[in-house]
Structure 1
Amino acid sequence: MEINQCINYLLTISQNKVFQYFSESLKELKITPAQYGVLSCLWKNTPQTPKQIGSTLYLEASSISGILDRMQKNELITREIDSTNRRNILIYPTAKANGLKADVERIVEELNSHFLSDLSHSEQEILKKLLLHIIDK
């Protein structure tokens, strides 16, 4: 089989290109694509536990912990002990993080446009549906 017929190759190369473009675009805001993922989770539903965020983003506990550490250091999140269950840590976005939301959403729109604009609306929907199918496997 030719390498360009291998699903792993196709997904890896595609993801690398998208990631590099996204990383470069987010540099102006001093956040990473992984930090965008965390912020997106928090903007949708606050507060969340590290476990909830990790589950949504398909990240291991050690990975999410490192991301959250850097985000706290950069004043993008705060951590608080859950008053109803002291074993849980709750993650909140800071005012600084919330102030980035409109710019981040603009960058995500530009990202999607850059990579999807040559596809028709129905092709875009099919691509997203097929990728979600792979994720759910």
Structure 2
Amino acid sequence: MIRNLDERVGYQIGVAAHLIQNTYNHKLSEYDLTVAQAKVLYMLVNYGEQLQSELQNRLFIKGSTMNGIIDSMLKKQLIEKNDSKTDRRSKIITLTEKGKILEEKLWLSTKAMEIELMKGFSNEEKQLLLAWLKRITENFKK
């Protein structure tokens, strides 16, 4: 039986995701950030301060991974970590002014990358692709 990976949707998504991730990593390295750290900045700008466990769930990562991300961002003074007033075991993560400024720069910088990524696609095609990718994501969340 002949196997053709090029015809597998999962394989093509994986290849595209790998190339996109590499491009983002290269751009983010200019700011001494990882993709995961940039996502944390985005989540804090978009949703405000959050419990560390909420961030972890939104990013679909393990607690130990989240701890590493938080520690490195604390050292860079991009976030603050404080005890929750209702549960001292829980930690509240807040964006610093330095983090807000950096996230704004990243948002503008990655917007150009997004334009390059979608070159040749109509707005309708982009919306359709987004809908399909979100559906795939939902299929794996169940």
Q: TM-score, normalised by structure 2?
A: 0.90
Name the amino acid aligned to 2:44.
L
Aligned match for 2:95, one of 93, 96, 105 = 93
Aligned match for 1:54, one of 29, 35, 56 = 56
Counterpart secondary structure, 1:91? strand
Bigger relative contact order (CA 8 A; separation at least 6)? 1
> What is the alpha-carbon root mean square deviation over aligned residues?
1.2
- Report deviation, 1:8: 2.6
Once the two structures are superposed, what CA deviation does each residue of 1:65-120 show, in whole Å capped at 9, x if it has no partner?
11111111211111000112212100011111111122111122112111112110
Counterpart secondary structure, 2:87? coil
| 8 Å Cα contact 2:118/2:126 also seen in 1 | yes
Name the amino acid aligned to 1:5.
E
- Report deviation, 1:7: 2.5
Work out the CA distance in 2 between the residues paired with 1:46 and 1:84: 18
Structure-1 residue corresponding to 2:109: 107
Once the two structures are superposed, what CA deviation does each residue of 1:26-85 show, in whole Å capped at 9, x if it has no partner?
222221111111011100122111211111111122221111111112111110001122
Aligned match for 2:37, one of 32, 35, 38 = 35
- The percent identity for this pair of structures is 23
Q: Which runs of 5+ in 1 are unaligned?
A: none
Name the amino acid aligned to 1:11.
I
| 8 Å Cα contact 1:77/1:94 also seen in 2 | yes
Whichever of the two has the greater Rg, that structure is 2
Name the amino acid aligned to 1:21.
T
Work out the CA distance in 2 between the residues paired with 1:122 and 1:43: 28
Aligned residue pair count: 137
Work out the CA distance in 1 between the residues paired with 2:40 and 2:18: 19
Work out the CA distance in 2 between the residues paired with 1:50 and 1:84: 14
Work out the CA distance in 2 between the residues paired with 1:5 and 1:100: 40
Farther-moved stretch of structure 1 (24-33 vs 116-125): 24-33
